[in-house]
Structure 1
Amino acid sequence: MDLVLLAFAGILGRLAWTSFREARDGHARWTRGLAATPVTVAELVAMAGSVRDELDAPAFRQVVSLSGTVEPLDDEARPAPLTGVDSVWFRFVEEALSRGRDDREERQVVAEQRRERPFRLTDGGAEVVVDPRDARTEIPVAERRRVTDDGGGREFGLFRLVDPTVARERTEWRIEPGSRLTVVGEARLSGDRVRLSAAAGHPLTLTVAERGDHLERSRRRSGTAMRRAVAFGCGAVVALLVAVLT
């Protein structure tokens, strides 16, 4: 029995499982997007108002897909860490880059910062509140900067501990006031306002793509991941059979 082939089969099996999970999650996002009712912000506010008047606020729960213009809630835009651009939401990551085995680039996250405060989504004179906490975001990179790092090191008497870092990469994602955003998730009444937020069994998605583009992208990603899972799975089976039979 070839132990190297067994190890290779295990690696391929793990890759197959990872790709399968990616395909499953992508398919779930696609089906959720299909099931979400496409509405305008004004239509959603009107629907919620009708339910509140005829029943009561807790009775209104609707999974929707809607697009609008992002605006701060109570003027709560803040400068993003890397660029200083005012944003209602941002994510900042700093990674240390070093050279590992076979001169391959290795990355390690050394700093991360998020701002996840509610903001308004407006359209046609109506508005809803979006709470981005725990949301799945499909926001493109807004800024990426790489700074060369000579590594340096630390002195310990006669010894010097060398830092293998060769560079630092800082990446920023942000949602700016005035930008257009599509939100897919469950809408509920909170006081006098319609609010969209992540809830158990009802994830929230924020994307810069329009609804149709978002659905098509989710479908393609799911299909690609599933084909990759099948390829890795077949490779794992072949490697396992060869290892057992030799």
Structure 2
Amino acid sequence: MNLQEALEQYQGTKLKLDELSKYQQWAFSFFHNEEFVLNPNLSITLQLDLRGAREIYERSFQNLQGASFQAYLVWNLVKALSQNWTFCTRQIDGEWYFFKNLPVYFTIAVGGEDRFKDVIINDVRLMDWTTFVIIYRDSIENPKQDVGSIPPLTWAISHFIGNLPELNFTSFQIHRGIMKTGRPIFYFGQRYNSHQGLTVPLSITFDHANSDPYVLNKLMQTYQDFLAQV
């Protein structure tokens, strides 16, 4: 996939930096200038409160055949990302672009010599719950992409939402790729019951050029709002 194909498929347009705030204009440039910053990524691991989300899922979403709570978490996270535009910007060949409909990428553990399979799901932002569950379940049960077979540009700009359900981590950092596109990476860990109720560690790696702790907090608020909707 080349740039023009990505712009067409994922509804991308060149970002008009001169229409952004002075801080945003500075940040988009500064944090990708290797004379000043070698690694623009910031990492944080949150303990995400799932009490209300689990109750709503069990009451209103669980009965659909093939449904899973992880699918519910992913579906709502993509919707939250689409409502916070900075997390949908990507730098490609030195230029910043805004995408309305980015794909979702994650890996599936299959064991054996293959170890993992890659999964790409398109148009998640536009899917209702029923449609997403069908496609998500099929992607897990019948993964078709060998690791490394996804076009590099598609992989580099997709929403990366991983899952490590056996690891109850308190901190998790992922390696930095050569292509600094500005895409965030999310990793869910093992859910557990704390004194507050059901909780899950959520590792988030984000690029300081197009996001920061302030907008990350707004994203998490949007996410919790979606998780609370029936």
Shared fold (TM-score, shorter chain, > 0.5): no
User: Which structure has the larger Rg?
Assistant: 1
> TM-score, length-normalised on structure 2?
0.24
